[in-house]
Amino acid sequence: MNPQLRSPASGLETVDLTDPHTFLDVDLADMWRRFRSEEPVFWHRATERGPGFWVISSYEDVVALYRDNKRFTSERGNVLATLLQGEDSASRKMLAVTDGARHREIRNLMLKSFSPRALEPVVAGVHERTRALVAEAVGRGELDFVTDVADHIPINTIGDLMDVPREDREQLVAWNTQTLSRHSADDSEMEEWMARNEILLYFSDLAARRRRHPGDDVISALAAATVDGELLTEDEIVFNCYSLILGGDESSRMSSVGGLIALAENPAQWQALKSGEAGLDSATEEVLRWTTPAMHFGRRALVDVPLRDRTIKAGDVVSLWNSSANFDESVFEDPYAFDLARTPNKHVAFGHGPHFCLGAFLGRVHVNAVLAALRTQVAGIRLTGPPTRLFSNFVNGYSGLPVALTAEPAAEGSAA
C-alpha cells in the first residue's frame, strides 16, 4: 500500500464515493478489495450531494446489471452527478440516457459512422498523427505528456469525423475536461455546468450550419437522419454531438496518460513492449483495464430487484464501479500486476451490454497508436515530477504529467 494513502477508517460506511477527495487520498485498491469481500452490494449513506444509493463492486454483479435493461434504466441519468439530482436534462435526447426502441434506432444510425469498417480509413491517420506528436516530444526531451501529446490525439480524430474547425479543438478539450472533472478542489461546480453549456451552444450552432450546408461528417449524418420517417430533433443532434466529443476524447486521453505512467513505473513491462514479448493488442487492453478512465456508470431501478442478500428497491440509484470490477480477483489473475501480455482480459472499461461504448473501437485505436509510437521511437521514459490528478469521482485521470522521453537512435533524425 502507498504509505501516503489512507485505508478507509473503521468501516466502509465512512467512505464517501460522492466526494472527489476520496479518489485522491484513499488507498483505492484496498478500499475496493474490502467492498468486494465485505459488502459487494452496499447501501451508501446520503450525503450533502444527494440521497443514498447502491454501490455494486464485483465483476459478476456489475456485468449482470449492465446487461439488465428491463429492470434498470439509464433515462434518469447514467452517472452519480446527475442520478443523485433526480434527472438528467439530456434524458431521451442523448443516446447514453435513452433506452428501448429509440435507443436501438439511434444507436444503429450512429454505428454507421463508428463501426470498424467505417473507421478503417481513419486508423492510418491516427497512427501517422501520433507518430508525429511523439517525434516532436522526444525532440523536446522534457515535456508535459498531457498537454503536449495526449490532448492532441483523440480530439483531432473525432474532430475530423465531425468536421470541427481545427481552431476550435483546443477549446473543446478544455471544456471537456472541465465538464467531466475539475483540475482541483478550487474549481467550482458552476464552472463544470458552464463548460457543459458552452459545448452544447457550440454544437447547436454547428448543427444548424450542417443542416443548411451538409457534408460527409458525423454531424451532417445526424442532421439528415430519420427515425420512423422523422428527422432527429435539434436537441437529439446537439446532445449526441456533446456525447461523442466527450466520450471520444476524454477516455482515450486518460488511458494514454495513465498508460505512460504505468510503463514508467513498470520497467519490465516497458521492456516487454519494446521487445515484442507483449503484443500491441494485448497491451492496449491492459492499459484500458489498468487505467479504467470512467470509474463508474449508474442506473435507476424500475422494480424491486433481489441481488445477493439485499433488495434494490424500485426508484433506487445503483452505481456500477468499473474501477472495482476491473480488479476483481475472481476474474483477473493477480489483478494489481500491470501485465501487458494479460489474456484473457474481459475488462469493462467501456461498460457492457446495450449501452456498451459506441466509440470503443476508436478508443482502442488511439491507445494502440500511442503504444506503437512509444515502442518504436522512445528508448526511455522518466517521470520528472508528480502527475497532477483530476478532481473527480467519475474520471480517473490527470491534467498534467511532466516526463522526459529519450529518443531511440533511429528516431533522432525524425524529431528534427
CA dist 345 and 340 (Å) reads 10
Q: pLDDT tens digits, residue range 28-40?
A: 999 999 999 999 9
Burial class (CB in 10 A: 0-12, 13-18, 19+), 313: exposed
CA dist 102 and 244 (Å) reads 18
Average pLDDT (243-263) is 92
CA Rg, the chain, in Å? 21
| Whole-number pLDDT of residue 298 | 98
pLDDT band at 184 (very low <50, low <70, confident <90, very high): low
Q: What burial letters (b/e) apply to 50-61, b meaning 16+ CB within 10 Å? A: beebbbbbbbeb
How large is the angle between the packed helices 116-140 and 154-162, nearest 10 degrees?
Answer: 140
| Whole-number pLDDT of residue 415 | 42
CA dist 342 and 191 (Å) reads 40
Q: Cβ distance 235 to 204 under 8 Å?
A: no
In sequence order, which residues have a C-beta less than 8 Å from that of residue 82 and are 6 or more positions away? Answer: 76, 88
Q: Around Cβ 353, how many Cβ atoms within 10 Å? A: 14
| Runs of H (alpha helix) within 141-233 | 145-148, 154-162, 169-180, 189-212, 218-224
Peptide bond into 344 cis (omega under 30): yes
In sequence order, which residues have a C-beta less than 8 Å from that of residue 102 and are 6 or more positions away? Answer: 92, 227
Q: Collapse the DSSP code of 33 into the 3-class scheme (helix H, G, I; strand E, B; otherwise coil) and give the result.
A: helix
Q: Cβ distance 158 to 245 under 8 Å?
A: yes
Average pLDDT (281-304) is 98
In sequence order, which residues have a C-beta less than 8 Å from that of residue 57 and are 6 or more positions away? Answer: 32, 35, 36, 39, 40, 42, 321, 324, 325
Q: Cβ distance 299 to 320 under 8 Å?
A: yes
Average pLDDT (129-134) is 97
- What are the extents of the domains in the chain? 12-415
Q: Collapse the DSSP code of 313 into the 3-class scheme (helix H, G, I; strand E, B; otherwise coil) and give the result.
A: coil
User: Is the pLDDT score of 398 beyond 60?
Assistant: yes
Query: Which of 99, 78, 100 has its CA nearest to residue 89?
Result: 78
Q: pLDDT tens digits, residue range 308-353?
A: 999 999 999 999 999 999 999 999 999 999 999 999 999 999 999 9
The CA-atom distances, in angstroms, between 124 and each of 128, 131, 145, 285 are: 6, 11, 22, 20
DSSP letter assigned to residue 5:
S
Q: pLDDT tens digits, residue range 101-114?
A: 999 999 999 998 99
194, three cell numbers: 458552464
| Whole-number pLDDT of residue 57 | 98
Q: Cβ distance 250 to 105 under 8 Å?
A: no
First to last CA, the chain: 43
DSSP letter assigned to residue 341:
T
- Looking at domain 12-415, which CATH architecture does it have? Orthogonal Bundle (1.10)
Q: pLDDT tens digits, residue range 235-246?
A: 999 999 999 988
